[in-house]
Structure 1
Amino acid sequence: MSEIRINAISVENYRSFKDRQEFVFPEASYKKPVAIVGYNNCGKTNLLNAILYGLQVNFVSKDTFSQDDFHNRNMDNIPFIQLHATSTRERKFDGDKYACLTGYHRLSMFIDGEEIEGSKIESLNGLAQIQGWDGAPKDDINYEAFGATRYFNIFYINFHKIKEEINTNKTSWGNLRSFLAKHIKKIVDSDVPMNDKKAVFEEEVQASTDKVLEDSELNRFISLIKKNYSSNLRNDDCSVSFGLPNYHDIFLKMLFKVGLNGDVENQVPISHFGDGYISMFVMAVVQSISEFNDNDKCLFLFEEPESFLHENHQEYFYKTVLCGLAENDHQVIYTTHSDKMIDPFDTKGLIRLEINENNQTVKKYNSLDDFDVISEDEVTGEPINYSKYNEFIKTIEPNLNKILFSKKVILVEGPNDVLVYKYAIKQKVLEFIAIDDTIGNKERYADTFMNFENIAIVCHHGKATANYLIELCKHFQVDYFVINDWDFEADELSIDAISGFLTLDLLKEDAIYTESDKKAMITTNYNLIKNAGLDKIHFNIKKLESVIGYDSNDKSSLAIWELLNTNGFSFDENLFPKSLEIFLGLKDDTQEEVVVDNNDLPF
C-alpha cells in the first residue's frame, strides 16, 4: 500500500508571494477536502503550483523558471518553496532501490546576475531539522526522494482545461500531460497478466491488419510510398508499413466513447461533448481511480473543479466526489470560487488568500483549531453551527460567497440600506474622482468601484444576526464595516453615553439602563459596539429613513429611490461617516484623500 500526504508548505518570493507565507494541512484523521479560496489573482493557482513543484509533479530543472516567477519580476527576489510530506517507502520497479517522499523538499535556485544558472528540489529526510538545512550532513539528504513522485498516486487535474485532461496522446516531445494518460500508462506498464499476452496480441493485430489490407487500394498506395521513398533515398531498400502504434502506445491512442440513454450503436467520443458533460465524465474517472487504488492513499489536486458545472452539480461534485475521496483516506486539495464547493459548518479545511495593499499574496485564514468565541450566552465551537441554523439560513447561506470571496464587507440592516448606500458610495466616489482627468468614464468608474475593489454589501437583517456576521468576518479575517439603525432619538440616548462603559454589567448598574423601558435595545446596541469596535460601526439616528429625510412609514424602495434622485437630495456625515470613507479606501487614517492608481482600470 502506498501513501502520500502533504503536511505543510512555505512560499516566499514566488510570483504573487513576497513575504514568507506558511500553510498547514489537517492530519489524516480529518476526513474532509481542503479548499483554497480567494478572489481572482489572489494567488490560489500559485500556491497549487508551489505544491506541484515541491513534490516534483511539475519537474524542476534549469529551464523551469523565468523572470516572471520572481516576485515583481525582480531577480533579487529568489523564489523559496519548502514542502513537508509524509509517505510510505516504496520499492522501485528495478527492485533494488526505494522511493520515499517523507521529509522536507526545498527549491534551490542558483542565480548569476540576471541569469538562472540552475534550479532543483533538494530533499532532507524526516529526521532533519529545518534550522540546520544549509549545513545538513549527507546522512540527512533523502536520496530516495529523487524520482520518487512516479511511485505514488498523485493526480493533478486542471478543470479549466478539461478537454486536455481527457486527451491521452503524447505531446510532440513524447511526454504525457493529462492525469488520465499517466494513469492508463501506469496500469498498462504494471499489469503483469496483460504484458504476458503482449507477443500474442502483437501477432494477432499484425495478422488482422495484413488481412484487411490484402488486395486493397490502401495497400497499393502504401507500396507506391515505399517505392518513391526508396528512390529518394538513392535506392535504399527501406521498409514502410502502415499500422497501429507500438504495444504500450496503443492504449494511449484509444479513446472513450459514450452512448447516452442506452444507445450502444451510435457512441460518440467523449471529447465531442460539452465541457459540462466532460467534467462529469472526469468525476467518474476520479471516482474510479479511488476505487481502483483501494489499498492506496492518493493525493488529488484540483484546479477549480466547479468550472462548467451548474451550481447543483457543483454541490453534488463536492459532496459525492471531493468528500467521498477524503472519507476514503485520500488527501484532496483544490482551488475554488464557489460556496457550493465548501462546507461552511467546518472551516478546518479552508485556506483563504488575499492580495494586500502591497500587491502581495497573504494568508488570511488557515486554522486547524476550533473556532472559540465567548458571547453573552454561550461558548461556541465553529462559527456556523446548528444552534445558529436560523441565522445561517437568513444571513449566511445567501451571502457566504460574498463574505468568503470579498476583500471587505459592508454589513447593513436591510434592502433599503443596500439601495441607499450603493447610491451614496457612488456619489462619494464621483466626488472623489471629480478632478482626476486620468479617468475617462467617471460614471462607470464610480458604478463599478465596489466590484473593482472587491467590496461586498451584505444584509444582516437585524442586530442579533449582525453580531453573528461580525463573528464570522473576524473568524475568516475579512475586513468589515457595520451599519445599523440606533433606534433611539439623539436626545433620548447617545452613542457616547453607553460606549464608554467597560462592561455590560457596569452599564446595567447605571441609571441609563435601570430607568429605561428599552433595556433589551440598549443591551443589543452595546454588544454591537463592543463586538464591532467604534471605528467599524456606524449608527443611523434614529433610523435610516430619519437620516435621509424620508417621512413616510411606508418603507417603499421605489419611493426612497425617487427621493435619492431628486435634485434637492444630499447627505452628510450623519449618513456617511469619515470612518466609512476610510474603510472604502477613499481616505487614509489621517483622513487625507488617497491617490488612486488607475493604470489598470479600463475606463
Structure 2
Amino acid sequence: MSELRIKKLLIGNYRSFNERVVFNFPNKKYLKPISIIGYNNSGKTNMLNAILYSIGYKYTTKETFSINDFYNRQIENVPHIGILLESSIENKYDGKQANLNGYQQLEIQIDGIEIEGAKFRSTDPTGQQENWQSFGALKYYNVFYINFHNIKEEIKTKKTSWGNLSSFLAKHIHKLVETDSVLVDKKEEFDRQTKEATENVLRDSLLQNFIEKIRVNYSANLRNNDCHVEFGLPNYEDIFLQMLFKIGLNGNSENLIPIEQFGDGFISMFVMAVIQAIAETNTEDKCIFLFEEPESFLHENHQEYFYKMVLCPLANKGHQVIYTTHSDKMIDIFDTKSIIRLEFDETEKRTVCKYNNTEEEPNFENIVQINNFNSYIKSIEPNLNKILFSRKVILVEGPNDLLCYNYAFEKIIYDITGDSNFSKAYLNFRNISILPHHGKATALYLLKLCKHFGLDYFLINDLDMEINIIEELNQFEELNALQQSDLYLFDGIENRNATSKGIITTNFNLLKNAGIEKIHFNIPKLEGVIGYESDDKNSLSIWNLLQEIEDFEVDLIPENLTSFLELDSIIEIVEV
C-alpha cells in the first residue's frame, strides 16, 4: 500500500509571495478535504503550483522558472519553495526503494543576472541527511491533479506531439495498463490477433496496394534501403490511449456520442464519476488529490453535491484532498480547520496567509457551532461568500442602513471622480463588501467571524441613546468595572432602568470587540443623523430624503470610515 501526504508547505519570493509563509496541513487522522480560499488574484493558484513543483508532479529544470516567477520580477528575490512529506517506502522495479519522507526544497542558482540552474533537493525529515531514495520516486505513489478551468483537456487521453501525457485521465489509464497483470498477460495474444486481423482485412485490397507503393518509393528514397513499412494499430499500451469514452443518453446504447462533444457542465459531472471510480478502485493506496476550482461550470446545487459526494468521501477514505475554490458551497464553515484563507496585501503588495489552523493548534474552538445555528442562518449563511472572499467588510445594522450607506458611498465617490459607473463599482473594485447584520447580537457574532478569518472590518451601529457616551465607555477595560460606575447605574439623577443598562452593555461589548477605530455609532439612530423624522422606516421615504442631501457629514461618515474606504487614493486610480 503506497501512501503520500503533505504535512507542511513553505513559500517565499515566489510570484505573489514575498516573505516566507508556512502552511500546516492536518495529520492523517483528520478526514476532511482542505480548501484554499481567497478572492481573485490572492495567490491560490501560485500556492497550488508550489505544491505541484515541490512534490515533483511538475518537473523542474533550468527552464522551469523565469524572472516572472521571482517576486516583483527582481533577480535578488530568489524563490524558495519547500515541502515536508510523509510517505510509505515502496519497492522500485529495479529492486531499489522509493521514499519521499522528508523535505523537498527548491534550489535556484543565479549568477546575478540570469538563472543558471534549478532543482529540488531532498532530505530526511530532520533536514540534515540527503534522501537519495526520492529520485524518480513519485511514480510509485498516486497524485492526481485536475484543473477544472480546462476541463475538456482533462479528459483527453492521447499523447501530445512530444509523446507526453497531459491529462490526469490519460496518466491513470496508462498506469493501469502498465501495472495490471491481467492486461499485461494478454498483450502477446492481443498483438498476434490484431496483426492477423489487420492482414486479413487488407489482403488484396487497394489500400494494401497503396501501402506497398509507399514502401517501394520510400525504399528508393533511402538509396534502395530494404525497409519494411507496416500500416497497423498503435503499440499495445497506446491503443487504450487512442480509445474514446462515448456516452449513450437515456439508456440508448446504439447512438453513442463522444464525451468531448458535450458541454463543460456535463463533462464536469463525468470527471466527478472518474474521480469517484479512482477512489473506489484505490482501496489500499492513500493518494493526494489536487483540484483547481472544481466549482467551475457547476451551479450552486451541483457545487454542494460535488463537495458532499466527491471531495468529502475521498477525504473520508484517507486520501488527502486539497483544492482551491471561490464557492462557499464547497467548504465546511462548521469545521474551519479545513480552511486555508489567503489575501493579497495591497499595501505591501504580497500574498499573506490570513487563516490556517490545524488540529494540532491548542485550545482551538470553532467559531461557528450548532448551538448558535439560529444566528448563523440569519446573518452568516446569507453573507458567507462575502465574508470569506472579500478583502474588507462593512457591517451595518439593517436594510435602511445598507440603502443609506451604499448611496452615500456612491455619491461621495461620484463627487470626486464624476464617473457614474466607477462610483457604482468602487466597492467591488476595492473588494469591499457591505452587509447588514440585523441586530447587535448577530453583529457581535459576525465581528468574531471576521476576526477569526483575519478579515478587515468596520462596524456601524445605532447607539440607541441620545447622549454620546462612546469616549466614556471606551475608558473602561472590563465590563465589571463599567457595571459599578455611575455611567451604568445612573441616568442623570435617576436610576438607570434595565433596558438602558442592556443597551450600554451591548454597546460596550461591540466597542471593545471591534476597537474604537473600527466602529462608528449613529446617535441616536441612523434616521436621526440623516434627518428622517417619521417613526416608520419606509425605505422609499428614506430614499427620497437621501436624494435631497448635498453633503454627508462626519456624524454619518466619520474619518476612520473614510480611511477604511481608501478614499484618499481615488484620484490616483482615476488618473491612471
Could you say which TM-score interval applies, normalised by the shorter chain?
A: over 0.9
Pairwise mapping of residues 453-532 of structure 1 onto structure 2 (< 5 A)?
453-490=430-467, 494-514=469-489, 515-517=495-497, 518-532=500-514
Counterpart in the other structure of 2:557:
576
Counterpart in the other structure of 1:376:
none
- Asked if 1:265 is matched to 2:254, the reply is yes
Compared CA separation, residues 188 and 371, structure 1 to 2 (3 A): closer
Contact 1:372–1:382 (Cα < 8 Å) also in 2: no
Alignment identity in percent? 55
Counterpart in the other structure of 2:62:
62
CA distance in 1, matches of 2:6, 2:212: 57
Counterpart in the other structure of 2:280:
291
Q: Which amino acid aligns with 2:471?
A: D
Which residues of structure 2 form unaligned runs of 5+?
Answer: 490-494
Counterpart in the other structure of 2:114:
115
Counterpart in the other structure of 1:560:
542
**Post-superposition shift, 1:369?**
5.2
CA distance in 2, matches of 1:365, 1:7: 16
CA distance in 1, matches of 2:182, 2:540: 75
- Asked if 1:359 is matched to 2:367, the reply is no
Compared CA separation, residues 371 and 52, structure 1 to 2 (3 A): closer
**Post-superposition shift, 1:234?**
4.3
CA distance in 1, matches of 2:208, 2:479: 95
**Post-superposition shift, 1:85?**
0.3
Pairwise mapping of residues 4-403 of structure 1 onto structure 2 (< 5 A)?
4-94=4-94, 96-126=95-125, 128-129=126-127, 136=128, 140-356=129-345, 357-368=347-358, 381-403=365-387
Counterpart in the other structure of 2:567:
586
**Post-superposition shift, 1:494?**
2.6
CA distance in 1, matches of 2:54, 2:294: 22
**Post-superposition shift, 1:519?**
1.7
Counterpart in the other structure of 1:445:
422
CA distance in 1, matches of 2:510, 2:415: 31
Contact 2:26–2:360 (Cα < 8 Å) also in 1: no
Higher helix share: 2
Partner of residue 534 from structure 1, selected from 503, 510, 516: 516
CA distance in 1, matches of 2:110, 2:540: 64
Contact 1:370–1:381 (Cα < 8 Å) also in 2: no
Q: Which amino acid aligns with 1:504?
A: L
**Post-superposition shift, 1:100?**
0.6
Compared CA separation, residues 598 and 124, structure 1 to 2 (3 A): farther
Give the number of equivalent residue pairs: 568
TM-score normalized by structure 1? Answer: 0.91
Q: Secondary structure at the match of 1:400?
A: helix
Counterpart in the other structure of 1:132:
none
Deviations 1:242-269 (A, max 9, x none): 2211111111111111112111101111
**Post-superposition shift, 1:583?**
0.9
Q: Secondary structure at the match of 2:40?
A: coil
Deviations 1:420-448 (A, max 9, x none): 111111222234446xxxxxxx2222221
Q: Secondary structure at the match of 1:352?
A: strand
Deviations 1:554-595 (A, max 9, x none): 3222222222223x54320011000101111224xxxxx776
Q: Which amino acid aligns with 2:430?
A: E
CA distance in 2, matches of 1:420, 1:221: 81
CA distance in 1, matches of 2:123, 2:37: 30
Q: Which amino acid aligns with 2:42?
A: C
Counterpart in the other structure of 1:2:
2
CA distance in 2, matches of 1:224, 1:295: 54
CA distance in 2, matches of 1:309, 1:214: 51
**Post-superposition shift, 1:332?**
0.5
Q: Which amino acid aligns with 1:584?
A: L
- Asked if 1:550 is matched to 2:527, the reply is no
Compared CA separation, residues 372 and 412, structure 1 to 2 (3 A): farther
CA distance in 2, matches of 1:372, 1:172: 52
Contact 2:108–2:115 (Cα < 8 Å) also in 1: yes
Q: Aligned-pair RMSD on alpha carbons?
A: 1.8
Which segment drifts farther, 169-178 or 226-235?
226-235
Counterpart in the other structure of 1:133:
none
CA distance in 1, matches of 2:361, 2:286: 29
Contact 2:264–2:297 (Cα < 8 Å) also in 1: yes
- Asked if 1:414 is matched to 2:398, the reply is yes
**Post-superposition shift, 1:235?**
4.2
Deviations 1:347-383 (A, max 9, x none): 001111111112101111111259999xxxxxx9311
Contact 1:299–1:330 (Cα < 8 Å) also in 2: yes
CA distance in 1, matches of 2:277, 2:407: 52
CA distance in 1, matches of 2:444, 2:72: 40
Contact 1:371–1:381 (Cα < 8 Å) also in 2: no
**Post-superposition shift, 1:23?**
0.4
Compared CA separation, residues 214 and 552, structure 1 to 2 (3 A): farther
CA distance in 1, matches of 2:210, 2:574: 65
Q: Which amino acid aligns with 2:148?
A: F
Q: Secondary structure at the match of 1:458?
A: strand
Compared CA separation, residues 419 and 445, structure 1 to 2 (3 A): same
Q: Which amino acid aligns with 1:596?
A: E
TM-score normalized by structure 2? Answer: 0.95
Q: Secondary structure at the match of 1:348?
A: helix
Which residues of structure 1 form unaligned runs of 5+?
Answer: 130-135, 374-379, 435-441, 588-592
CA distance in 2, matches of 1:415, 1:283: 40
Compared CA separation, residues 224 and 426, structure 1 to 2 (3 A): same
Contact 1:372–1:381 (Cα < 8 Å) also in 2: no
Q: Secondary structure at the match of 1:596?
A: helix
